[in-house]
Amino acid sequence: EDKVVQSPLSLVVHEGDTVTLNCSYEVTNFRSLLWYKQEKKAPTFLFMLTSSGIEKKSGRLSSILDKKELSSILNITATQTGDSAIYLCAVERNAGNMLTFGGGTRLMVKP
Amino acid sequence: DAGITQSPRHKVTETGTPVTLRCHQTENHRYMYWYRQDPGHGLRLIHYSYGVKDTDKGEVSDGYSVSRSKTEDFLLTLESATSSQTSVYFCAISVSGVGTGELFFGEGSRLTVL
């Protein structure tokens, strides 16, 4: 059974801080790892990391996949109140047809 | 915008009653999913579909059934709702066409079972 564990469970920072969110996984025949951001409603896609693309960056957000340690981090620099959300990590296996999600990290950014 | 509509968006029902949630897509994607979200559990897969009349179970399928008679509609049914099924239900579609990768989610359906 695939397993995804995220840490910390929750985090409170102030605007301008840098945060690092963690995701560790156990999956048979790993294909990719995905990060999502969930504000009030539907999760929205951030990044997908695969064996051929282990680092992604978009503005203040970046993510790295460590295949040896079976983990990934999501970094957010110069945080803003709009970054407040639940961040979800998910993995998929080859020929799997589905994603397995972690429990999420709730980030609150205070002004 | 992947064009996913869930209905109803909110529902309160009583234990033992049947409930059906509907997911409608406008873009003819093959793979559709039903997840539930509960505090501390992230998103857990209930059932998914890879085509008309083709469905499979996820990790928390007990107490749920699904049907897909048309490409655009994926129905989730609770035959006899229980309080443990109080949750937020999300429908999702895979835009890659091969059932993996990036998923687009609907806005969610909040179900309360009293």
User: Residue B47's closest chain A neighbor by CA?
Assistant: A98
How does residue B2 score in pLDDT terms, banded at 50, 70 and 90? low
Label residue B97 by pLDDT band (50, 70, 90). low
Q: Which residues of B24-45 are buried (b: 16+ CB within 10 A; e: fewer)?
A: bbeeebbbbbbbbbeeeebbbb
Which of helix, strand or coil describes residue A84?
coil
Mean pLDDT, chain B, rounded, equals 92
- What distance in Å separates the CA atoms of residue B83 and residue B105, rounded to the nearest whole number? 24
- For an interface test with B, the pick among A34, A87, A98 (most B C-beta atoms closer than 10 Å) comes out as A98
Mean pLDDT of all residues in A3-22: 96
pLDDT exceeds 70 at position B49: yes
What single letter denotes the amino acid at residue B57?
K
CA separation (Å) from A65 to A24, A101, B34? 10, 16, 27
pLDDT bracket for residue B98 (50, 70, 90): low
Tell me what pLDDT residue B1 has.
54
Q: pLDDT tens, A63-102?
A: 999 988 999 999 999 999 999 999 999 999 887 778 899 9
A53 at the B interface (CB within 8 A)?
no
CATH for B4-113 is: 2.60.40.10
Question: Cβ(B104)–Cβ(A45) under 8 Å?
Answer: yes
Domain spans in chain B, listed from the N-terminal domain onward: 4-113
User: Is A58 near chain B, with CB under 8 Å?
Assistant: no
Q: In the beta sheet, which residues pair with residue B5?
A: B24
Domains present along chain A, CATH in parentheses:
3-110 (2.60.40.10)
Q: Quick one: pLDDT at residue B95?
A: 80
**Could you tell me if A102 lies within 8 Å of chain B, comparing CB atoms?**
yes
Residue B109 has pLDDT above 90, yes or no: yes
Size of interface A-B (CB pairs under 8 A): 58
Kindly state the percentage of chain B with pLDDT values over 90: 80
